[in-house]
Structure 1
Amino acid sequence: MKSYIPNFLTLLNVFSGCVATVFAVLNHLEWAALFVFIGIFFDFFDGLAARLLNVQSEIGVQLDSLADMITSGLVPGIVMFQLLNMAERGGWNLGFFGHDDEITLLPFLGFVITLASAYRLANFNVDENQVSSFKGLPTPANALLILSLPLILLYHTNEVLSGIILNQWFLIGLTLLSAYLLNSRIELFALKFDNWSFKDNAVRYLFLIGSLIMLLTLKFLAIPLIIVFYLIASVLNFQKNAQS
């Protein structure tokens, strides 16, 4: 019976991703972000549950990637589509994929994120070296980065920030950077806890504490900074380990 628990959590991730997709298509990006966060929560705990219960399975690995493809691959692509559409029209538009107006080709560039996510997940499934660490930005981290943008627009009323986020060149650059980071060879530590020892998980604990402090002080603006923090901390950590 316990072998079904991790897969059930993964299916809750799938369901969260499906709900987030509906809200993203309807351009209710705040709700889309909420269900992506919920899906990523289940994504974290399904793997933890499998390790604690010692019920890891090949079907669980495949199911996890399929869930990530929806929650952390498809949804960020739709959200970037909507943001690029807003950037072209000069502001927030709550229409259904902008159905009141003609859609141009530029917003479809957002689905480069979805394509890059699919390739990363397929590559991850066949790469046996990505167990205790990742090569390239994990799709959930990338999803958080993209989903933070509409939340910053909604909850941080700053004209400078809004001007940057709704600048189409910024969004194009971020889309391409996102696709690169997903499939780069940069080695990043995984937030996987095999035990709760501080000695064995010092980098993970420090990262989580630092991230919590930033979230409490900067709110949604902290999310892009946390991703940068994650990249820098990983590079420094692996450089230190290589020298020791």
Structure 2
Amino acid sequence: MSLKKHIPNFITLLNLFCGCIAIIMVADLKFDMAFYFVALGIFFDFFDGFFARKFNVAGPLGVQLDSLADMVTSGVVPGFVMFCMLTNGNYSTNLTVPYLGFIITLGACYRLANFNIDTRQSDSFIGLPTPANTLFIMSLPLVTNSFVGPYIQNSWVLIIITILSAYIMNAEIPLFSLKIKNFSFQKYKLQIGFLVVSLIMIATLQFLAVPLVIITYVLLSVVNNILAKKEL
């Protein structure tokens, strides 16, 4: 049996492994390390599909493995992070409110299952992809020392973010594709402009740039959808 057949699945399992380590990091309140491991898992998540297509070995097993791995890295981990933020690191609390953080996990699970049977999302997305949503949630505890810190640490704000997070992943909102197949500025000016702005924000704002980039992506997609409807 060709070794190439197993490479994409092995990369998918590396994604799952990173998600497992991230859970341990979150349990120890090491949110920065958890962020890095989740980011590494998402990196593997991108390349498993890349190599599956390159080696022409894509199959149903890989699809299932990918969703199961994403369920941990982009489902359980962000839900656990929100749970920890709502408890302020105090796991012994008897309050039930922190468990609302796992609404993110439920929303991610529903999206992943729906994505597997939705044929409309081959080149672009409908609803926010789970990896993007995860990076957004993972960045929140890392920006508490910034000017948005007092708002991020407010339980009501966190609950609203949790509900919006689960909603936006499953909302019927088309998001423009980030795939640039050629160097036509006229055709891909929206994508190129977004990527340039994102790089500037990352270089200047570091972790704070992560939620801002994702919010910008969603808002630009909404505006782009409105303009596209007006042109019809």
- Say yes or no: TM over 0.5: yes
Unaligned runs of 5+ in 2: none
Q: Residue 148 of structure 2 aligns to which amino acid in structure 1?
A: L
What TM-score do the two structures reach when normalised by structure 2?
Answer: 0.89
Root-mean-square deviation (CA, aligned residues, Å) is: 1.9
CA distance in 2, matches of 1:175, 1:233: 21
What TM-score do the two structures reach when normalised by structure 1?
Answer: 0.85
Alignment of 1:55-70 (within 5 A): 55-70=57-72
Aligned pairs, number: 227
Q: 1:2 aligns with which of 1, 4, 11?
A: 4
Shift of residue 237, structure 1, vs aligned partner? 3.8
Shift of residue 134, structure 1, vs aligned partner? 1.2
CA distance in 2, matches of 1:192, 1:71: 23
SS at match of 2:218: helix
Alpha-carbon spacing, 1:198–1:235, altered in 2? closer, same or farther (3 Å)? farther
CA distance in 2, matches of 1:220, 1:33: 10
Higher deviation after alignment, 209-218 or 234-243? 234-243
Shift of residue 240, structure 1, vs aligned partner? 5.0
Shift of residue 234, structure 1, vs aligned partner? 2.3
Alpha-carbon spacing, 1:241–1:62, altered in 2? closer, same or farther (3 Å)? farther
Q: 1:125 aligns with which of 87, 107, 116?
A: 116
Structure 2 residue 131 is the aligned partner of structure 1 residue 146:
no
CA distance in 2, matches of 1:209, 1:125: 31
Tell me which residue corresponds to 2:219. Answer: 232
**Preserved contact between residue 6 and residue 60 of structure 1 (Cα < 8 Å):** yes
Unaligned runs of 5+ in 1: 87-92
Q: Deviations over 1:32-54 (max 9, x none)?
A: 11111111111122222223333
**Preserved contact between residue 87 and residue 93 of structure 2 (Cα < 8 Å):** no
Tell me which residue corresponds to 1:162. Answer: 149
Structure 2 residue 189 is the aligned partner of structure 1 residue 187:
no
Q: Deviations over 1:145-194 (max 9, x none)?
A: 100111112xxx34x4221111011001100110110110001134456x
Shift of residue 203, structure 1, vs aligned partner? 4.1
CA distance in 1, matches of 2:9, 2:85: 33
Q: Deviations over 1:193-224 (max 9, x none)?
A: 6x4x2237554443333211110011111111
Alpha-carbon spacing, 1:5–1:210, altered in 2? closer, same or farther (3 Å)? farther
Alignment of 1:166-177 (within 5 A): 166-177=153-164
CA distance in 2, matches of 1:209, 1:75: 29
CA distance in 1, matches of 2:227, 2:55: 33
CA distance in 2, matches of 1:166, 1:176: 16
